[in-house]
């Protein structure tokens, strides 16, 4: 997915590859947390419904909050680690037009994705201090980015934006050219 165009081709194209800001990253994380929680809740409801179909009404199953929380943590690990390892972006990041790359700009590896996912909770446990480099650092890399040797950059398709711009220029030039009537 791509970030909606601002209407200014030069601004759209010039931001590609620049480090993503704190607000964009926070909104993407919020989208991801919402999506991950909804998927987990739906999966849990489906499993509970299937268990109710199979187990007789006389049998009672006491759900343990600790087990459910453990499954949720595993689910969140998979939700973040897999996309960061394979494509460099989660659903929320794709919607906002940002991507995780290695510090040198190359695509992420499974090692980068796993380390980044494992250190992300530690960034929160520092009471937010681990996020301060996003706001004040030159490369806008949080603690989990530094640990995984990654960076988050804007990633919408600048080439497609250029092609759309050239197509508009071509049609505008034809409209202004004189036409010769037969």
**Do 143 and 130 touch, CB atoms closer than 8 A?**
yes
Judged on CB neighbours under 10 Å (0-12, 13-18, 19+), 118 is: middle
What pLDDT was estimated at residue 53? 87
Domain membership flag for residue 156: yes
Token pair recorded at residue 118:
């494992």
What does the pLDDT read at residue 117? 96
In a domain, 2, yes or no: no
pLDDT at 161: 53
Query: What token pair was written down for 49?
Result: 């419904």
Domain count, the chain: 1
Residue in 11, 15, 182, 172 with CA at minimum distance from that of residue 98: 15
**pLDDT confidence of residue 181:** 43
Q: Is residue 106 in a domain?
A: yes
**pLDDT the model gives residue 105:** 87
- Tell me whether residue 110 is in a domain: yes
In this structure, are residues 130 and 124 in contact, taking their beta carbons and an 8 Å threshold?
yes
Specify whether the CB–CB gap between 40 and 114 falls below 8 A. Answer: no
DSSP string, 109-172: -HHHHHHHHHHHHHHHHTTTGGGHHHHHSSS---HHHHHHTEEEEE---HHHHHHHHHHHHHHH
Q: Quote the domain boundaries for residue 135.
A: 13-56+64-164
Number of other residues whose CB lies within 10 A of the CB of residue 45: 10
Contact status, residue 136 vs residue 104, Cβ threshold 8 Å:
no
Report yes or no: 16 and 154 within 8 Å, Cβ to Cβ.
yes
Residue 128 in domain:
yes
Is 80 part of any domain?
Answer: yes
Contact of 2 with 97, CB cutoff 8 Å: yes
Q: Is residue 98 part of a domain?
A: yes
- Does 146 fall in a domain? yes
10-residue block means of pLDDT along the chain (182 residues)?
A: 46 65 94 97 92 79 81 96 95 93 92 96 92 91 94 76 59 48 44
The pLDDT, as a whole number, for residue 36 is 97
């Amino acid at each position: 997915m791509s970030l909606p165009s601002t209407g200014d081709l030069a601004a759209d194209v010039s931001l590609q590859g620049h480090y993503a800001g704190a607000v964009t990253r926070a909104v993407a994380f919020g989208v991801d947390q919402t999506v991950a929680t909804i998927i987990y809740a739906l999966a849990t409801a489906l499993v509970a419904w299937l268990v109710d179909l199979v187990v007789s009404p006389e049998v009672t199953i006491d759900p343990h909050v600790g087990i459910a929380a453990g499954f949720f943590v595993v689910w969140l690990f998979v939700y973040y680690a897999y996309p960061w390892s394979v494509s460099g972006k989660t659903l929320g990041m794709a919607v906002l037009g940002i991507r995780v790359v290695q510090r040198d700009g190359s695509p992420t590896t499974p090692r980068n994705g796993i380390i980044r996912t494992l250190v992300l909770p530690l960034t929160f446990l520092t009471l937010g201090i681990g996020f301060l480099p996003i706001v004040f650092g030159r490369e806008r890399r949080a603690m989990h980015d530094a640990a995984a040797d990654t960076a988050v950059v804007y990633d919408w398709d600048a080439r497609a934006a250029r092609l759309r711009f050239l197509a508009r220029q071509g049609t505008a030039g034809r409209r202004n050219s004189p036409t010769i009537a037969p």
